[in-house]
Amino acid sequence: MSTLTRLSVDARNLLSYRNGIGRTILETCHTAAQRDTKITLYWPQKPKIIPKEIHEAENRYWDKGGGINRVLWSGTSLPRSVNKTGPDIFWGPAHRVPIGLNRSIPCVVTIHDLVWAKHPQTMRRLGWLADRILAPHAMRRADVIVAVSKSTRDDILERYPQFTEKVHVIYPGVSVTTDIKTNKGGEYQRDGDYALFVGTIEPRKNLQSLLKAIAISRAAGHLAGRLLIAGGKGWRHAELGDLIDRYNLADCVQALGYVSDAELARLYKDARFLAMPSLYEGFGLPIIEAGSYGVPALTSNVSSMPEVAGKAGLLVDPHDPHDIARGWQRLWNDDALHAELSSHARENAARFSWSKTADEMLSLFQDVIDRHRQANSS
């Protein structure tokens, strides 16, 4: 058995690391470094900050900002540098393995979703085209494909049944922030009078249907609280303000923009429920983040969301604003239902931990290395 001592990682997703992909990279690399593994991170450009979890890593930087430059980097400079280093294994943590990676180097790719195949209309054209070309290449080249949920695994195998033997499910974990911001002057920090949306503002998150559902509830006289939207600007984010105005919701819907980890923890803790009726999710990290604070979820009955929400979610049809409105009303007005879902939230979230994620990833890396070397020696 050969021991994992050198792990090379495509670090482009750490340039904006405050999301599930970034957290998966940080936790896996941090755990590997604690076990005397040398981590080499390859960055298309120098980050503004190096997260504390990867201070032990060796960092290699280029000056390749922008989407097209990063695609070119991943097919030229990145594979040349990795091939020269000759690590025990290469990890593409988000849908990419560099074209030109030496076949002698074992590699693993993590696939978070198949948005490009399932809901291409919700993506920017350049991102869709890149995923459509590069994700299938990565899955073909990888020795093992990691899917972040059973739903994502099923999506992969529906389209690529030839990968059946090399797809493994490893769930992300959940981070619980104990440094909760108090900020008593914050208007939004009043216990339980709001539902919370968390995520990048983009079409796939289905905010338009959520806002329409709130308008339906309000017209029927059922609205019992407000919606707070915590999330960075994504594709077509500018439409959010127009939608709030169109549905006359300015007095009960507030877009907070990006919030710090401490602010987000307080928002989760004091929310009545999480509102996440996405059209599609590969995993849906906010569901278990909210659950770790005992907060249930109003979420969709499609893709990974039922799998992740478990008994702590009320499921609705994301394509039907009236069904979302019914769910919205029930979670405000049915205290028994709310209490039942809340009672399962922490237990459900406890199924997922970053320690378990990292352990499973490192065990998988080791298995890939061993099988690769056995195959080459026979």
What is the spatial distance between Cα 10 and Cα 42, in angstroms, rounded to a whole number?
5
Give every CB contact of residue 335 below 8 A, 6+ residues apart in sequence.
none
User: Do 300 and 324 touch, CB atoms closer than 8 A?
Assistant: no
* DSSP 8-state assignment for residue 6: E
User: The domain 194-349 belongs to what CATH superfamily?
Assistant: Glycogen Phosphorylase B; (3.40.50.2000)
- Identify the CATH number of the domain defined by range 6-172+353-371: 3.40.50.2000
28, containing H or E segment: helix 20-34
Distance of CA 131 to the CA centre of its chain: 16
pTM: 0.91
Domain extents for the chain?
A: 6-172+353-371, 194-349
In the chain, DSSP assigns E strands to 6-10, 38-43, 58-61, 89-92, 107-111, 144-147, 167-169, 194-198, 226-230, 253-257, 273-276, 297-300, 313-316
- Going by their DSSP bridges, the two strands 253-257 and 194-198 should be labelled as unpaired
Q: Which two tokens stand for residue 109?
A: 């790719």
Contact 99, 135 (CB under 8 A): no
Mind listing the pLDDT tens digit of every residue in the chain (378 residues)? 557 789 999 999 998 766 778 888 898 898 888 888 999 999 999 988 888 888 889 999 998 877 788 888 998 999 999 999 999 999 999 999 999 999 999 999 999 999 999 999 888 888 898 899 999 999 999 999 999 999 999 999 999 999 999 999 999 998 766 555 544 444 444 467 999 999 988 889 999 999 999 999 999 988 778 999 998 776 555 588 889 999 999 999 999 988 888 999 999 999 999 999 999 999 999 999 999 999 999 999 999 999 999 999 999 999 999 999 999 999 999 999 999 999 999 999 999 998 899 899 999 999 999 998 888 776
Alpha-carbon span 8 to 89, nearest angstrom: 6
Alpha-carbon gap, residue 129 to 106, rounded angstroms = 26
